[in-house]
Structure 1
Amino acid sequence: MTEDRRYDKEVEIATGRTAVPGRVAATVLLALACCTGLLGLFVVSGPGEAAMAPAATALLPLPEDDGDDDIDAAAEVSQPVVSETAAPAPVSAPAEKRVASSSVPREPAKVAKAPGDSVQAHLGIQALSPEMRRVRDHVARRYRVASAALTPLFLTLEQEARRRGLDPTLVVAVIAIESEFNPFAESPDGAQGLMQVVPKWHVQRIHARLKRKAPEDALFDPQLNVSVGIEVLAEAKQRYGSTEKALQAFAGALDDPEQRYARRVLAMKRSLEQIARRQG
């Protein structure tokens, strides 16, 4: 190098003119780096990836091929895509369980009973017999008495009559003749209630059932009255040996040779027996 050129080079270095191109290059590289970073952030954020120009993506570093692309792609295909907003489908029971549940027999429908038929009386009857239910319904219609109100009475009547060897329809016939099912009936002689029992003649029987001193109106209780009346009638039949004489003794008419009271009661009993046997 000649002295002149060496002098010119030293002047350029001294004046700093050679630094200008280096600064320009550094600025350009810094700008490219900033653009690359912004584009990278844009791509990572999601929506701008599809719209990115090929020229911009060319500036990004490509991932190294590690040989697992095919495995990752297969794994993505095998996983079902579930929408974040879609509701999950209901899980149905297994087929065998559904078949088993459909084959379980259903409980048969219960047949409705008349009011009071399922009442358990203290004497042990759970329901009236079909014959006595028909008689009860007939009495309810004829004497205009609620069927539900008659049920406890008929429960006691049927149990006590059968226990003492009497036909329940005979007792119903006596009540129909004596009081026409008026529990508060009272005769001029002081006979009270459904079976017209005279209190002064049966004080001990009443006390034995109440387990205390009986009030004057105790026999107006329908079940107590029927219980005492059935006992008196059963003892009369045992004593006299026939239903006709037992009925005449119950009415205090043993001296009636025509046995008119017994004939009335037995005629009513025959009518009630036909009703009890009636079907449908």
Structure 2
Amino acid sequence: MLALPGAAIAGNQKEEALADSVRLALANAIKDPAPPSPTFRNDADRQRYQLWLATMSARLQRKLPDDQTRNEFLATAWYEARRAGLDPGLVLGLIQVESAYRKYAVSIAGARGYMQVMPFWTNVIGDRNRSALFHMQTNLRYGCAILRMYLDMEGGNLYLALGRYNGSRGRPDYPNAVLKAWNNWK
């Protein structure tokens, strides 16, 4: 397998029994192969996005030094977060805690990629292609869809949803770390 410096700190997401409607909704959420292409209602929204992209790019430059890689990553993270109804800053904070922005991060539990998605998800809602979890857009799409599902399951309680995402529901360390990291990306 891949030998990487420093283990990612993802917990062990639990494979849970899902209602067929939830499984179908998640499968549809990750299915769309279209690349991120943000659309804006007006010029003010476009300008806010461009300001966000420039600001986040400057903050992330140390972790992702290549301009093209960094800008593609940020555009994809923004797109997938918004697509799932999440704050892009929350997603960036989660990625900071989960993988420290390492595309090929693998946790001790076997979670993969930027958002540390457990491979069982490819069987539950995907096409069983576990190696696709190292593809940036695929990983971000899975991670955002899964976090959205957990938020819905927890009635909008972000603290519990983050714990469920990490496999540490009810323990404060992980949700607190993500919430703290999120403040860096607001």
TM-score, normalised with respect to structure 1? 0.48
Structure with the greater relative contact order (CA < 8 A, sep ≥ 6): 1 or 2?
2
1:235 corresponds to which of 149, 158, 161: 149
2:59 corresponds to which of 138, 151, 174: 138
1:125 corresponds to which of 5, 14, 38: 38
Specify every segment of 5 or more residues in structure 2 that has no aligned partner in the other structure, as ranges: 1-33, 40-45
Partner of 2:121: 201
Range that drifts further, 148-157 or 178-187: 148-157
> 4+ residue runs of structure 1 moved beyond 4 angstroms?
none
Partner of 2:181: 268
Residues 41-80 of structure 1 mapped to structure 2, 5 A cutoff: none
Task: Give the Cα separation in 2 of the matches to 1:137 and 1:223.
Answer: 21
Partner of 1:166: 86
1:184 aligns with 2:104: yes
CA contact (8 A) 2:64 2:70 kept: no
Specify every segment of 5 or more residues in structure 1 that has no aligned partner in the other structure, as ranges: 1-120, 208-212, 274-280
**Cα separation, partners in 2 of 1:199 and 1:135, compared to 1, 3 Å:** same
CA contact (8 A) 1:184 1:193 kept: yes
CA contact (8 A) 1:205 1:228 kept: no
**Cα separation, partners in 2 of 1:136 and 1:251, compared to 1, 3 Å:** same
1:232 CA displacement:
0.3
Considering only aligned residues, what root-mean-square deviation do their CA atoms show, in Å?
1.9
Task: Give the Cα separation in 2 of the matches to 1:262 and 1:152.
Answer: 27
Percent identity of paired positions between Structure 1 and Structure 2: 28
1:231 CA displacement:
0.3
1:239 CA displacement:
1.0
Task: Give the Cα separation in 1 of the matches to 2:136 and 2:111.
Answer: 14
1:144 CA displacement:
4.3
Q: Give secondary structure in 1 for the equivalent of 2:37.
A: coil
Residues 84-103 of structure 1 mapped to structure 2, 5 A cutoff: none
One-letter identity of the residue aligned with 2:60: V
CA contact (8 A) 1:137 1:147 kept: no
1:194 CA displacement:
0.5
The structure with the larger Rg is 1
Q: Give secondary structure in 2 for the equivalent of 1:217.
A: helix
One-letter identity of the residue aligned with 2:79: Q
Task: Give the Cα separation in 1 of the matches to 2:75 and 2:64.
Answer: 19
One-letter identity of the residue aligned with 1:199: P
TM-score, normalised with respect to structure 2? 0.70
2:133 corresponds to which of 219, 222, 238: 219
Partner of 1:152: 72
Q: Give secondary structure in 1 for the equivalent of 2:38.
A: coil
1:204 CA displacement:
3.8
CA contact (8 A) 2:105 2:116 kept: yes
Partner of 1:246: 161
1:189 CA displacement:
1.2
Residues 23-38 of structure 1 mapped to structure 2, 5 A cutoff: none
CA deviation digits over 1:36-72, x for unaligned, max 9?
A: xxxxxxxxxxxxxxxxxxxxxxxxxxxxxxxxxxxxx
In the comparison of the two structures, how many residue pairs are matched? Answer: 144
1:136 CA displacement:
2.4
